[in-house]
Structure 1
Amino acid sequence: MANAGEGASAAPSFTREDELRALREMLLIRRFEEKAGQLYGMGVIAGFCHLYIGQEAVVVGAKMAAREGDEFTTSYRDHGHMLASGMDAKGVMAELAGKRGGYSKGKGGSMHMFSQEKKFFGGHGIVGAPAPIGAGVAFANAYRGDGAVSLTFFGEGAANQGQVYETFNIAALWKLPVIFVVENNRYAMGTALTRAAAQTDFAMRGAAFGIPGKQIDGMDVRVVRAAVAEALDWARSGKGPYLLEVQTYRYRGHSMSDPAKYRSKEEVQRMREEHDPIEQVRLRLLADGVGEDVLKKIDADVRKIVAEAADFAMNDKEPDPSELYTDVLA
């Protein structure tokens, strides 16, 4: 498997405005996730909590390529996708804390948030579930003929699930406007992909169904945006689904309960030092003449947003007991 970061020298160029937008959006995700980790340790957040630290370039690059109306569906490592979709940090953090101001009224927690307004269709705790759900969203797009494309994210571990291939088949058969994005962060819970996947080139997984695929560096936001833009053009033109394997890396454990002893500290440190998606953008901006003071202000603004979200979540009220009986289908 190619190392994340390879091919970065040939990456498409960004304007200064692109770089600043990417920096701010990736920083918002990282600072939010760092704060979520702290609140989990304090007991403010309970249950499951899967952090996106290290993988920010994937969803930010994808969002930069998408257009208004395109939908995002993902798995349980989902806070970054929510923030990139424009969902309010206060509502996301309040949901993590199980408070009534959360996107699911405090009843969904980390893995189950939605925003129809922002075209974000979850957050799903079932491994592999985003594939058929995202294809269903794409079917609705095709039925309406609205030109929207469904971007559907799941991990390399989920890529071994049977429902994913059933979905590939029907999506290709019906030429659904869906992009399947495999976020390959190299470890499915604690299992290295080489121990679980007979074919580790996940971009090839759609070949049996005639779905084109591409393997890219997911630590460079420029590469992600360019590849997703190409895939969007394919799907939007009526040619059917497209598969992207985005090679990325998570710095933290699978979830907050995972000490991540299955990999060395040196491996994680090397990825942080050589391939960090945020640091790459920061260094390019400095080289472009943007002052350190400008970059520090962006970080300060982001930290303020996150601090306010944490304060809101901690001070918000818990759901009323009557909420147990609302929004429930019988």
Structure 2
Amino acid sequence: MAPNTFEQMVDAYRSMQTIRAFEERLAREAATTPFVGPLHLYSGAEGSAVGVCMNLDTRDRVYSTHRPHGHCVARGVDIKALMLEIYGRQGGVCNGKGGSMHLADPDVGLMGANAIVSGAMPLVCGAALAAKTLRTGGVAVGFTGDGGSNQGQFLESLNFASVFKLPAIFVIEDNGFAETTASSWSCAGDHVKRAEGFGMPGRRVDGSDVFDVYDAVREAVERARLGDGPSLLDIKVERFHPHEEGVSDAMRLREQLEWAKANRDPIKNLKARMLSAGAIKQSELEEIDRKIERLIDEAVVEAKAAPPIPVSQLLTDVYHTYP
């Protein structure tokens, strides 16, 4: 069943709109702010992150990519701590040492973003193997892109997860480009059929419809918790910003991008569905938006005012010391 109660729809909208407001504010700040490391924005793909994470609970583990902010917000990472981290300040979720591409918050099950393309996929297998061995009922979810789907460790992870029937879900956020290379040129075959080749179900999902994502992930999570093994989801999403802020987006036709914003924006689609169903009033949505904007404003002000990491702490919390 799709997330069709009033509370679920509002929660989905609030989470998606928070991601969008967070990313669009970062896009504006990037013009004048020296962030820690590159900045890869998630705007356009909110239906994927939220549709996936709505199905997860405290037993589950999520592994992200170099484009992690959407997954972080959807998983419940504190907005202000997230902003502090991207600004490289004390009090950030990794105390300012991870920056945008190396975020982690194990307290909410966000086990880490990974700057290595598909580098997290073997970690997904490890978490899923631990959940199966310890019988926690947990599921491990890993995100990658269509470019990441060609990496050796991704394909090896699919094989390992299938051989051992691990409770793992592999999510390809397929935006049609591997950085600046069209996937139609670089990806042979079909992602769903690749999954079937490894003995697991694959499903193509419309990322502009959070309901479609929710249903597909619910099915995959149920399968994993029952001990029936892994699944692969090929979620078709849009990316409204360049691969990386400050990098040319010239490989995409402007007309394509404008069409995607008009027709495949998951937030617009959810809002239209809620309003047409009479589930909420426009004024109520606007009040949600205002609260989110105030939160983002506060997060930016606090991040700019927060102190940087002192040199004496640069090497603390970097390596784990085992007893």
Return the TM-score normalized by structure 1: 0.94
Aligned residues: 319
Q: CA deviation at 1:148?
A: 0.5
8 Å CA contact 1:40–1:46 kept in 2: the answer is no
2:124 pairs with 1:124: no
Q: Deviations over 1:55-114 (max 9, x none)?
A: 000010111122332111111110111111111111111111111111111111101111
- Identity across aligned pairs (percent)? 36
Q: CA deviation at 1:44?
A: 4.2
Distance in 2 separating the partners of 1:218 and 1:125: 23
In the alignment, which residue of structure 1 is the partner of 2:21? Answer: 31
In the alignment, which residue of structure 1 is the partner of 2:249? Answer: 260
In the alignment, which residue of structure 1 is the partner of 2:196? Answer: 207
In the alignment, which residue of structure 2 is the partner of 1:278? Answer: 267
Give the match's secondary structure for 1:245. Answer: strand
Partner residue of 1:248 out of 232, 237, 242: 237
- Which 5+ residue runs of structure 1 have no aligned equivalent? 1-10
In the alignment, which residue of structure 2 is the partner of 1:310? Answer: 300
Sort the Cα spacing of 1:146 and 1:12 in 2 relative to 1 into closer, same or farther, 3 A. Answer: closer
In the alignment, which residue of structure 2 is the partner of 1:4? Answer: none
Give the match's secondary structure for 1:87. Answer: coil
- Which 5+ residue runs of structure 2 have no aligned equivalent? none
Distance in 2 separating the partners of 1:13 and 1:150: 21
Distance in 2 separating the partners of 1:76 and 1:215: 23
Distance in 1 separating the partners of 2:219 and 2:272: 26
2:76 pairs with 1:86: yes
In the alignment, which residue of structure 1 is the partner of 2:56? Answer: 66
2:149 pairs with 1:197: no
Distance in 2 separating the partners of 1:143 and 1:319: 39
Q: Deviations over 1:204-229 (max 9, x none)?
A: 22222211111111110000000000
Q: Deviations over 1:157-182 (max 9, x none)?
A: 00000011111111111111100001
Question: What letter is aligned with 1:96?
Answer: I
2:150 pairs with 1:167: no
Question: What letter is aligned with 2:173?
Answer: E
In the alignment, which residue of structure 2 is the partner of 1:218? Answer: 207
2:285 pairs with 1:301: no
Q: Deviations over 1:127-149 (max 9, x none)?
A: 11121111111111112110000
Question: What letter is aligned with 1:248?
Answer: V
RMSD (Å), alpha carbons: 1.4
Distance in 2 separating the partners of 1:177 and 1:46: 34
In the alignment, which residue of structure 2 is the partner of 1:133? Answer: 123
Q: Deviations over 1:260-288 (max 9, x none)?
A: 10011110111111121001111122212
Distance in 2 separating the partners of 1:323 and 1:13: 44
Distance in 2 separating the partners of 1:216 and 1:284: 18
Q: CA deviation at 1:12?
A: 4.7
8 Å CA contact 1:36–1:45 kept in 2: the answer is no
8 Å CA contact 1:95–1:103 kept in 2: the answer is yes
Q: Deviations over 1:234-276 (max 9, x none)?
A: 1111111111100111011001022210011110111111121
Give the match's secondary structure for 1:153. Answer: strand
Give the match's secondary structure for 2:171. Answer: strand
Q: CA deviation at 1:13?
A: 6.7
Distance in 2 separating the partners of 1:51 and 1:171: 30
Sort the Cα spacing of 1:253 and 1:147 in 2 relative to 1 into closer, same or farther, 3 A. Answer: same
Partner residue of 2:86 out of 86, 89, 96: 96
8 Å CA contact 2:118–2:151 kept in 1: the answer is yes
Distance in 2 separating the partners of 1:328 and 1:283: 46
Distance in 2 separating the partners of 1:101 and 1:217: 37
8 Å CA contact 1:154–1:181 kept in 2: the answer is yes
8 Å CA contact 1:99–1:318 kept in 2: the answer is yes
Partner residue of 1:114 out of 104, 109, 114: 104
Give the match's secondary structure for 2:84. Answer: helix
2:178 pairs with 1:188: yes
Moved beyond 4 Å, runs of 4+: none
Partner residue of 1:45 out of 35, 39, 55: 35
Moved more, 27-36 or 68-77: 68-77
Distance in 1 separating the partners of 2:2 and 2:217: 12
